Structure 1
Amino acid sequence: MAGRKRHSAEEIVRKLRRADELTAQGLSGDQVAAELEVSAATLYNWRRSYGGMDTDGAKELKELREQNSRLKRLLAEAELEKDALREVAKGKILSPTAKRRAVDMLTQTMGLSQRLACKAVGLARSTYRRTPLAQTPADPDAEMRAWLRTYAVKHPCHGFRRAWAALRHDEHRHVNKKKVHRLWREEGLQVRVHSPRKRAGASSFPAIAADAPKVVWALDFQFDSTIDGKAVKIASMLDEHTRRSLLNIVERSIAAERLVTELDKAFALWGGPPLVLRMDNGPELISQALQQFCRDRVGISYIPPGTPWNNGYIESFNNRLRRECLNRNHWTNLLEARVVIGDFKDDNNHRHRHSALGYLTPAEYAAGCTHTHHPVGCEIG
């Protein structure tokens, strides 16, 4: 049996004109269809679509229908791409690795073709099919990637800069910081930390700059608890210039008299008192015992109430102590808390590298620091 024949617009118009001539000769509809070698239904559809048209009109109508069909198909693909991008993520997908993951998700979850998925995320199919160098045995950075993963497991709160500092100063590897950042991102080790918007508070006290060691020591308290729900109070003190931790008190409660005793020991241990103690308006810090202890010995600088950003150095240290130590441990007893928190503060002094200190530890910086304090006078009028 011969296959179905697709007639062109010109042929349809010619056959319709021939059908009119045969009808005028008195032939029935079935006879006309048989003469033209088409079915009666096809002849009816032709008359409905092309009746009264000449050859040019029929050809133009066919082109319009094809164009309309193509536009509908493009619109459907565009809407499908929009749905796909809404399903993948908000905003732009920039890196090729992220685009590959998006294409995998669209093909597996939404059932899109590889061509349409690559078009939706803006990735060439040749790029998608190429195996990344990091997934091949010939990856030259495989050993460093493994080291970074191990470092991130050991220090989950650290970023790539701390990892680079450890590579540069502890492992003695001369590696570019931007390369470490790229490998850190590719391994998915970035931890997004929400930082609240910084605000500038107006203090009623003149600004005291810690331009040398033993000029400003910042003092503050924070709380935790053991597994039985009992409170653990922690006192910390920091030299704002060297970032060195100078005090470690971990008790159920800390009275003003106990604080004065420990401060006296700290002054003797670290070679004498500083010029100024910076602190907030806590009950232990505004006590008569502390006021008498500091009289004619060390100055006290209270930050305005409700403005912890004016004591930013110790607040930053407390934040890191909370994230890297307190939140990662639970205390079965007070002795365990004392030991672990004490080890953390010792690690801060001898192993934690500060970018503000040129990636030196506080102990290394303090040992080589030659800065001296220069008082700034105040002139009125």
Structure 2
Amino acid sequence: MGNKRHRPEEIVTKLRQVEVLVGQGMARIDAVREVRITEQTYYRWRKQYGGMGTDQLKELKRLQKENERLRKAVSDLTLDKLILAEAAPGKLLSPARRRACIDHVRSQMKVSERRVCRALGQHRSTQRRQPRGRADEKRLVADMIELARQYGRYGYRRIAALLRGAGWQVNDKRIERLWRREGLKVPAKQPKKGRLWLNDGSCVRLRPEYHNHVWSYDFVHCRTDDGKVFRTLNILDEFSRECLAIKVQRKLNSGDVIDALSDLFILRGVPTFIRSDNGPEFVAHAVRDWIKAVGAKAAYIEPGSPWENGYCESFNARFRDELLDGEIFYGLREAQILIEKWRKHYNTKRPHSALGYRPPAPETIVPMDRRPVMH
């Protein structure tokens, strides 16, 4: 009778035909043979479709399709849930992260690229796109790494400022992306700061308003390789953030403070205020009388309140972090040379965040009154 596969409509038709033949008096076995099926097939069909009309068959087919659709929807939702669970936790904001996540999911779950892209919201053209960097990216990365190696305590913002100073047309976001891609990082150590306030809400701290308005100075201790201590006297102009001088000696007393200030007063003029802490070298009668005699005013901070001398304290921290903690000084003379070299770099090249990432006293800027007049 052949191996033809009958459709449900054909099965119902044959069952009705058998019923008609039986109703006309024909034996059931003969009626089954008349419609060209076996007896076993007849009873199987009758058990599944017996007594069913054409409309009922259509409704059955509709319910079967709806059931199949719901089963497929549940399966898809379950698979999407498994894909999202396998994906990286958190939001996948960049196409590169989505590409890497999709590759990871496909390797773990053996599902198609189309399915994973749909579940994670990634367009397939974006997934297949091979990212190409700019033509100058290799040279830019090389220069960035060289600056990071040379100035190991600088973050990507200062490195970006140095690159722009060298002629690169780049912004901070591009340098940050390359910085992260290359695995460069500077450990952030941000101590908490405080301020000394009066009862009326006003701050005790004297704020600089112009050049030579407020100078500040302080001592920093360090050691040479043989274990002997040396001290540095750091003098700053708080308004321009320029380091005016760093005097390096084994011992520094009030006389050395007067000598350092005298040289600067001759070269730069007398400031209005000189801020310092209450160390014995600064509160000595000789220093106080001399400062008063030259026409300046001493602005001593409150005892135990180093944050009032915040400009100098911040400079000392950068000085120690970027130079003293990373160098071995085999002698006092070597320390004097290297510290003076770093001071010039700090003033003329190092980008300062408080100055819009410009150095305090860049060598490339010529004052307006000193530029040659063209005739």
- Per the TM alignment, residue 121 of structure 1 is displaced from its structure 2 partner at its CA by 4.5
- For 1:166, the equivalent position in structure 2 comes to 162
Q: Deviations over 1:186-210 (max 9, x none)?
A: 4635647647597662434644222
Equivalence map 1:125-136=2 (5 Å): 125-134=124-133
Q: How does 1:72-221 map to 2 (within 5 A)?
A: 72-85=74-87, 87=88, 89-94=89-94, 96-108=95-107, 113-134=112-133, 139=135, 141-169=137-165, 171=166, 173=167, 175-178=168-171, 181-182=173-174, 184-186=176-178, 188=181, 191=185, 194=188, 196=190, 201-204=195-198, 206-221=204-219
Counterpart in the other structure of 2:239: 241
Select between 234-243 and 185-194 the one with higher mean Cα deviation: 185-194
Pick closer, same or farther for the CA change 1:271–1:61 going to 2, 3 Å.
Answer: same
Distance 1:19 1:196 in 2: 93
Q: Following TM superposition, by how much is the alpha carbon of 1:185 offset from its aligned partner in structure 2, in angstroms?
A: 1.5
Aligned to 2:294: none
- Change beyond 3 A, Cα 1:15–1:73: farther
Check 1:106–1:231 CA distance in 2 against 1; reply closer, same or farther (3 A cut): farther
Letter of the structure 2 residue corresponding to residue 182 of structure 1: R
Measured at CA, do residues 248 and 181 of structure 1 come closer, stay the same or move farther in structure 2, by a change above 3 Å?
same
* Distance in structure 1 (CA, Å) of the matches to 2:232 and 2:40: 101
Counterpart code for 2:173: H
Distance 2:264 2:368 in 1: 15
Give the drift of 1:62: 0.9
Structure 1 residue 332: Cα displacement = 6.6
Partner of 1:66: 68
CA deviations over 1:269-323 (Å, ceiling 9, x no partner): 322564333345xxxx343763424324141230573563x43323332343344
The partner residue of 2:328 within 322, 331, 335 is: 331
Distance 1:166 1:69, change over 3 A: same
Query: SS state of the match for residue 265, structure 2?
Result: coil
Shift in CA distance, 295/152, structure 1 to aligned 2, threshold 3 Å:
closer
Q: 1:313 aligns with which of 300, 311, 314?
A: 311
Offset from partner CA, 1:116-174 (integer Å, 9 cap, x none): 44345533221232222317xxx2554334333433333344345434443444x3x3x
User: Who wins on radius of gyration, i.e. which is larger?
Assistant: 2
User: Are the aligned partners of 1:223 and 1:233 in contact in 2 as well (CA < 8 Å)?
Assistant: yes
Q: Displacement of 1:3 after TM fit?
A: 8.2
Amino acid at match of 1:287: P
Q: Offset at 1:239? A: 1.7
Letter in 2 for 1:81: I
Aligned: 1:271 with 2:271: no
RMSD: 4.9
Name the CA shift for 1:108/1:64 in 2 (closer, same or farther; >3 Å). closer
Superposition deviation, residue 349 in structure 1: 2.0
Count of matched residue pairs: 341
SS at match of 1:271: helix
Distance 1:199 1:150, change over 3 A: closer
| Structure 2: distance between partners of 1:115 and 1:163 | 42
Q: Any conservation in 2 of the 1:13–1:58 contact (CA below 8 Å)?
A: no
Partner SS, residue 343 of structure 1: helix
Residue type of the alignment partner of 2:91: G
Q: CA deviation at 1:348?
A: 0.7
Contact 1:19 1:36 in 2 (8 A): no
Q: 1:251 to 1:117 in 2, by over 3 A?
A: farther
Q: CA separation in 2, counterparts of 1:200 and 1:177? A: 36
**Normalising by the residue count of structure 1, what TM-score does the alignment of the two structures yield?**
0.66
Q: What runs of 5+ residues in structure 1 fail to find an aligned partner? A: 371-381
Mapped pair 1:35 → 2:28 = no
- Determine if the alignment matches structure 1 residue 262 to structure 2 residue 256: yes
Q: Which ranges of structure 2 fall in alignment gaps of 5 or more residues?
A: 22-26, 292-296, 370-375
TM-score normalized with structure 2 length: 0.67
- 1:183–1:164 CA distance, 2 compared to 1 (3 A): closer
- SS at 1:133's partner residue? coil
- The answer (yes or no) to whether the contact 1:102–1:121 under 8 Å persists in 2 is no
Paired residues of 1:352 and 1:361 also in contact (CA < 8 A): yes
3-state SS, counterpart of residue 234 of structure 2: strand
Distance 1:295 1:307, change over 3 A: closer
Residue 377 of structure 1 corresponds to: none
Does residue 294 of the first structure (1) align with residue 287 of the second (2)?
A: yes
